[in-house]
Structure 1
Amino acid sequence: MAEKPPLPPKPKPPLPPKPRPPKPPSAAAAPARPTPPPGTATGARPATAAPPFKKPPLAPPPQVLPLKPPPARQYPPPPHGGARKPRHRPHHHHRRGSGCSCRRVCCLATGLVLLALCLALAASCLAYLYYRPRPPSIHLLPLSPVRLHLPNTSSSSSSSPVSAMDATVGVHAVTWNPNERVAFAYGAGEGRVALADADGDVALGWAPVEGFEHAPRSAAAVAFVATAKGVVVDEAVAARVRDRYRRRQQGFRVVVDTHIGVRVGALRTRMVPLRIVCDGGVMAPRGGGGGGGGAAAAGPMSKCQVYLFRVRW
């Protein structure tokens, strides 16, 4: 009796497949082999053992740069002889509050100044409308006495191109205050007299002028006498002056520099510069008196210009 052939070893069941990482597209997928059935018929070809399962090579992990730790905070060394004192940090809200308060104070001060200026302007306008201040009216009377001494060149032995003149001129002016509630106070000053000529005025001299009080709605008189000796003039000018003096037609120019103040009731203002310019002064006729009422009646009066702070008033 023939012996039976030995049975092939029973293959072990395959292990469950593990999840595989995705393969690169270049690598071709290997076809899976079919597993033999668990049993084979008698007389079949002996089955060979399945090769062991090999894991596909895994791709190398990506290189990740190591993270750098944050820099360590460096603290200043503690002061000697004690613990470290806490650092003082300024508070921004205090700074903001101080800026707002300064702006508020500046705006308030500016508003007060503007309000004071407006009140002062309103008070000045009301005072001007109530008092109606007007400048004084000043007129120059015909000059008297007038003495001009010029040597006669025809009787002189020496013929000189210039002449020396001695002069004495009396000035009288009348000022009128047209205001009803405003009084003027004139300070001491000086008056100057000059001969009017086509080639230029010839200064004759000056004299002090006394100050006085000028009440409202009243007239006041100003008088002074200017003298000069040895005034040198050209011979042509001397000839014209000699001819006009003989006919009592010589013109003069009078300038008075003084100070004036305003008094309203018990209120007084400070003195300010005042200049009075009188052009067209004429000589009083012979026998007209010493500048009083006779001189005023005998000759015309010339109006004077008043300049306050070098501006015509």
Structure 2
Amino acid sequence: MSEPPLKPVLQKPPGYKDPNSLAAQPGFRPPPRKPVLPPSFHPKKKKSSCCRVCCCCFCIFFLILLLLIVVCGTVFYFWFDPKLPGFHVQSFRVSRFNVTQKPDGTYLDATTTIRIEVKNPNGKMTYYYGNTEVDVSVGEGEDETELGTTQVPKFSLGKQKSTSLKVETKASNKLVADGIGNRLQTGYRSKTLPVNVEARTKVGLGVAGLKIGMVGVTVKCDGITMKQLDGDDMPKCDINMLKWLNIH
């Protein structure tokens, strides 16, 4: 039986090197493999510049808005020339003031009428007042004694107008310390008795037919003696706005 013909031997291309023969050669080292790192060690991709653009746009918008507010406020101030309202104690009348010593203590009976003048010095703005709560007391320091609280209904005050608020208080059979009662009686007779008035209200502005929000205001008229109130001068009161602004 004849043998099958031999297959032709494939010729190796020029420069070909057998990897098996290379691995068998002494001193040969295969190229090192790159270490496989966990996902936490992979380099992070750079964030998009969208956040930076948004921040820049917001800052620019805020600065423009702030500039507009400043410009509008400046124009409003120079155009309308706003002035705060004025409060003065116009008069203080006492129809009854009796200090009576009884076996069980000293008692005070007092009836007073106070008039407070309110002025609007503005020629282009109207003031609106909410309900006003008025406290009246006499004496100072440890001798200060409350005579009562009265509420005045809301009212408005036109341009360069003034009005007079009537405040009536009554203290009936009010118990006071013996020493305080005597000092109050002495001050009343000599007209050196200090009178204290505190009014709490809310004030709003009216500009060109528009009403601007109400702001809490406290008006204090402290340490005014009855002798001062008998004169022609009307003592001016202090205005406390927003608990941080004190204006005389």
2:213 to 270, 276, 284: 270
Matched, 1:312 2:246: yes
Secondary structure of the residue aligned to 2:28 is coil
Q: Which residue of 2 aligns with 1:210?
A: 153
Q: What's the RMSD between the two structures over aligned residues?
A: 3.1
Query: After the TM superposition, which residues 122-271 of structure 1 pair with which residues of structure 2 at under 5 Å, given as runs?
Result: 122-151=71-100, 153=101, 158=103, 162-197=105-140, 199-271=142-214
| Structure (1/2) with the larger helix percentage | 2
Secondary structure of the residue aligned to 1:150 is strand
Give the drift of 1:71: 6.3
Structure 1: unaligned runs, 5 residues or longer: 1-63, 74-91, 286-295
| Structure (1/2) with the larger strand percentage | 2
TM-score normalized with structure 2 length = 0.76
Secondary structure of the residue aligned to 1:279 is strand
Secondary structure of the residue aligned to 1:180 is coil
Give the drift of 1:249: 4.0
1:303 to 224, 236, 245: 236
- Relative to structure 1, the CA distance from residue 146 to residue 67 in structure 2 (aligned partners, 3 Å threshold; closer, same or farther) is farther
CA distance in 1, matches of 2:208, 2:216: 22
Query: Does the CA-based 8 Å contact 1:260-1:271 persist in structure 2?
Result: yes
Secondary structure of the residue aligned to 2:50 is helix
Measured against aligned partners, the alpha-carbon deviations of 1:174-205 in whole angstroms (never above 9, x if no partner) come to 11111110111111021001112464421221
Aligned residues: 217
- Relative to structure 1, the CA distance from residue 149 to residue 297 in structure 2 (aligned partners, 3 Å threshold; closer, same or farther) is closer
Q: Which residue of 2 aligns with 1:67?
A: 28
Query: After the TM superposition, which residues 49-68 of structure 1 pair with which residues of structure 2 at under 5 Å, given as runs?
Result: 65-68=26-29
Matched, 1:114 2:63: yes
CA distance in 1, matches of 2:49, 2:141: 72
Give the drift of 1:298: 6.1
Give the drift of 1:144: 1.8
Measured against aligned partners, the alpha-carbon deviations of 1:7-30 in whole angstroms (never above 9, x if no partner) come to xxxxxxxxxxxxxxxxxxxxxxxx
Specify the code of the residue in structure 1 equivalent to 2:80. Y
Give the drift of 1:121: 0.7
- Relative to structure 1, the CA distance from residue 68 to residue 273 in structure 2 (aligned partners, 3 Å threshold; closer, same or farther) is same
Secondary structure of the residue aligned to 2:77 is helix
Look at both structures and tell me which one has the larger radius of gyration over its CA atoms: 1
Specify the code of the residue in structure 2 equivalent to 1:66. G
Secondary structure of the residue aligned to 1:184 is strand
Structure 2: unaligned runs, 5 residues or longer: 1-24, 35-43
Specify the code of the residue in structure 1 equivalent to 2:74. C
CA distance in 2, matches of 1:146, 1:278: 21
Secondary structure of the residue aligned to 2:93 is coil
Q: Which residue of 2 aligns with 1:52?
A: none
Specify the code of the residue in structure 1 equivalent to 2:129. Y
